[in-house]
């Protein structure tokens, strides 16, 4: 086997990661430790949160099952000792780090992955601007002090310019001037800025996409001062192979839809089944980030900003209809233990049809369940859940009802230039994906890590699913019987009235 050129480049590197405790950040840190064991150190900027300081959060971080593979290596202790916690907050000047940490890192850091962001689509526009754009500005200002920086990788999103039909691997104009919007967010009240949000967002579906487009322009301003590469992942989903097949730790985006549908809560969604599902497994997205950083970092600094779209392989594209059908099959084979109703329903390409289905299969059942809960002296909950489901579906449907085309030729060329060893270690979705196996692992991991259902619960879950199936059949018989009876009554009355009118 040839030597890994990528792992060799990371040898002796001091890597800093913001947003390391997030979904993608965890996989990035784990991958560096496992596949680039000769890295000098990896520094994680972690803020205090929910009564826990950065050190306590680091301990929780290392207890994640994704580090089991690293812990099994012979020199696991020495590898994990390279993981350093830096107490800080990117919303503050100098990222909120102590003077001692600043001085040390400014003389040491060689590579930076900036992944910190609030990824919630429905966050208020003010907090989105202050964190996603303002936080990035604080990072950029501090990076200008670094003496040995080889590459700064800014993680954006391929949905940062939603008004563009085909997103090329280049910079686009920002919706507004980033610094002016930051000034506006700093002095304007929350209520006033929220009132202006529809005008500010305009062609953007949410504050997350808007601030990512805004921030890219800001990052590009620093190209003459620091070596920059902008990466744009699309919908990042569960791991394909590493560190755990199917691993996922949140219910955001498609995972939330998967769980909601599997539990019988979601029975309709607005989605064009013929459009492409531009999803990228998280391990493949991280491998692409590390590969791009290596490519840009080892070459002389260029005058223009490098941009890479980390998106689906155009030769191995998956349609939404295919993805939903595969998931449906596996949910029936490996059901959830706790379900509201039998998993069913379907996606609707027509919005009006979807709204009718949502009224009958979401809203009416929710009120009925809460009515029964109230009668039995229990606390109603279903209407509240359905409101959250409705909001989530509304946010996601923007992406499932539009055709997207992302150019990714530059990423493909990099992957094809890698030697065989690096193609195996830092594999990406330039290879073919076995989607049947992928979604099976996705569902099993979702049961285990998100819903906290042990694999031993599967026999019971299958019994529950059979009971729900019979109840669903009984419900359909009663419903269609009622509709036939109403139709019979209506027709009979019409015929009687018509016969009386003849005499």
Q: What is the pLDDT of residue 189?
A: 87
Give percent of the chain with pLDDT exceeding 90. Answer: 41
For residue 103, being part of any structural domain is answered with yes
Contact status, residue 116 vs residue 45, Cβ threshold 8 Å: yes
**Same-domain check for residues 10 and 91:** yes
**Non-local CB neighbours of 330 within 8 Å, separated by 6+ positions:** 439, 440, 443
Output the CA–CA distances (angstroms, integers) from residue 283 to 18, 329, 332, 333, in the order listed.
18, 24, 27, 26
**Same-domain check for residues 293 and 393:** no
Residue 68 corresponds to which tokens in the numbers above? 């089991």
**Same-domain check for residues 466 and 433:** no
Q: What is the pLDDT of residue 502?
A: 46
Question: Any alpha helices (H) in 359-457, and if so which ranges?
Answer: 364-375, 382-400, 409-417, 420-425, 435-445
Q: What is the pLDDT of residues 400-420, one digit of tens each?
A: 888 989 999 999 999 999 999
Q: What is the pLDDT of residue 295?
A: 93
Does residue 330 register a pLDDT over 90? yes
Does residue 108 register a pLDDT over 60? yes
**Same-domain check for residues 340 and 380:** yes
Domain harbouring 20, CATH code: 3.40.50.720
Q: What is the pLDDT of residue 346?
A: 87
Does residue 152 register a pLDDT over 90? yes
Does residue 13 register a pLDDT over 90? yes
> Residue 87: in which H helix or E strand, if any?
strand 83-87
**Same-domain check for residues 193 and 342:** no
**Which range marks the domain in which residue 304 is found?**
5-247+278-316+405-450
Number of domains composing the chain: 2
Mean predicted confidence (pLDDT) in 492-496 = 66
**Same-domain check for residues 364 and 425:** no
For residue 257, being part of any structural domain is answered with no
Q: What is the pLDDT of residues 426-463, one digit of tens each?
A: 999 888 899 999 999 999 999 999 889 998 999 999 99
For residue 85, being part of any structural domain is answered with yes
Pairwise CA distance, residues 324 & 321, whole Å: 5
Question: Any alpha helices (H) in 314-363, and if so which ranges?
Answer: 320-333, 351-358
Pairwise CA distance, residues 447 & 337, whole Å: 9
Q: What is the pLDDT of residue 308?
A: 94
What is the DSSP annotation of 245-307?
TT------THHHHHHHHHTTS--EEE--TTSB--EEEHHHHHHHHHHHHHHHHTSPPPSSPEE
**Same-domain check for residues 207 and 345:** no
Q: Is the model more confident about 480 or about 19?
A: 19
Mean of per-residue pLDDT scores for the chain:
87
Q: What is the pLDDT of residues 278-304, one digit of tens each?
A: 999 999 999 999 999 999 988 877 778
> Residue 41: in which H helix or E strand, if any?
strand 41-46
Neighbouring C-beta atoms of residue 130, cutoff 10 Å? 18
Contact status, residue 268 vs residue 361, Cβ threshold 8 Å: yes
For residue 70, being part of any structural domain is answered with yes
**Same-domain check for residues 446 and 460:** no
Q: At 215, is the pLDDT very low, low, confident or very high (cuts 50, 70, 90)?
A: very high
**Same-domain check for residues 182 and 62:** yes
Residue 222 corresponds to which tokens in the numbers above? 């620093």
For residue 283, being part of any structural domain is answered with yes
**Same-domain check for residues 110 and 195:** yes
**Same-domain check for residues 283 and 394:** no
Q: At 379, is the pLDDT very low, low, confident or very high (cuts 50, 70, 90)?
A: confident
Q: At 250, is the pLDDT very low, low, confident or very high (cuts 50, 70, 90)?
A: confident
Q: What is the pLDDT of residue 76?
A: 61
Q: What is the pLDDT of residue 326?
A: 93
Mean predicted confidence (pLDDT) in 267-282 = 91
């Amino acid at each position: 086997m040839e030597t890994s050129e990528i792992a060799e480049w990371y040898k002796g590197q001091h890597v800093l990661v913001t947003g390391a405790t997030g979904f993608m950040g965890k996989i990035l840190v784990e991958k560096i430790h496992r596949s680039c064991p000769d890295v000098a150190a990896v520094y994680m900027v972690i803020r205090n949160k929910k009564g826990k300081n950065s050190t306590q959060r680091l301990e929780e971080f290392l207890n994640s099952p994704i580090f089991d593979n690293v812990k099994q290596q012979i020199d696991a202790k020495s590898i994990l000792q390279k993981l350093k916690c830096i107490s800080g907050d990117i919303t503050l000047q100098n990222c909120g780090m102590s003077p001692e940490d600043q001085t040390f890192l400014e003389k040491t850091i060689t590579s930076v992955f900036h992944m910190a962001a609030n990824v919630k689509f429905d966050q208020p526009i003010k907090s989105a601007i202050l964190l996603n754009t303002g936080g990035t500005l604080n990072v950029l200002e501090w990076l200008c002090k670094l003496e040995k920086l080889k590459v700064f990788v800014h993680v954006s999103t391929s949905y940062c310019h939603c008004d563009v039909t085909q997103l090329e691997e280049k910079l686009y104009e920002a919706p507004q001037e980033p610094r002016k919007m930051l000034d506006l967010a700093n002095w304007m009240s929350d209520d006033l800025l929220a009132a202006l949000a529809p005008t500010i967002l305009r062609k953007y579906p949410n504050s997350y996409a808007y601030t990512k487009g805004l921030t890219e322009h800001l990052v590009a301003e620093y190209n003459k001062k620091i070596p920059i590469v902008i990466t744009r992942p699309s919908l990042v989903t569960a791991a394909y192979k590493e560190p755990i097949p199917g691993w996922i730790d949140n219910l955001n985006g498609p995972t939330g839809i998967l769980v909601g549908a599997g539990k019988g809560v979601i029975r309709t969604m607005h989605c064009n089944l013929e459009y492409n599902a531009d999803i990228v497994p998280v391990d493949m997205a991280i491998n692409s980030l590390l590969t791009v950083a290596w490519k840009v970092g080892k070459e002389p600094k260029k005058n223009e900003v490098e941009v890479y779209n980390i998106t689906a392989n155009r030769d191995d594209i998956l349609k939404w209809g295919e993805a939903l059908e595969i998931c449906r099959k596996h949910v029936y084979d490996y059901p959830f233990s706790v379900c509201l109703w039998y998993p069913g329903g379907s996606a609707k390409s027509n919005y009006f049809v979807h709204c009718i289905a949502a009224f009958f299969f979401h809203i009416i059942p929710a009120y009925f369940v809460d009515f029964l809960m109230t009668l039995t002296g229990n606390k109603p909950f279903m209407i509240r859940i359905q409101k959250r489901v409705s909001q989530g579906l509304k946010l996601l449907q923007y992406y499932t009802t539009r055709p997207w085309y992302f150019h990714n030729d530059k990423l493909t060329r990099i992957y094809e230039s890698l030697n065989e060893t690096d193609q195996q270690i830092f594999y990406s979705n330039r290879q073919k994906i076995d989607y049947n196996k992928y979604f099976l692992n996705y569902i099993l991991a979702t049961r285990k890590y998100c819903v906290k259902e042990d694999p031993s619960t599967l026999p019971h879950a299958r019994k529950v699913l059979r009971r729900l199936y019979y109840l669903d059949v009984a419900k359909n018989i009663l419903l269609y019987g009622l509709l036939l009876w109403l139709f019979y009554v209506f027709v009979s009355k019409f015929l009687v009235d018509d016969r009386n009118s003849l005499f």
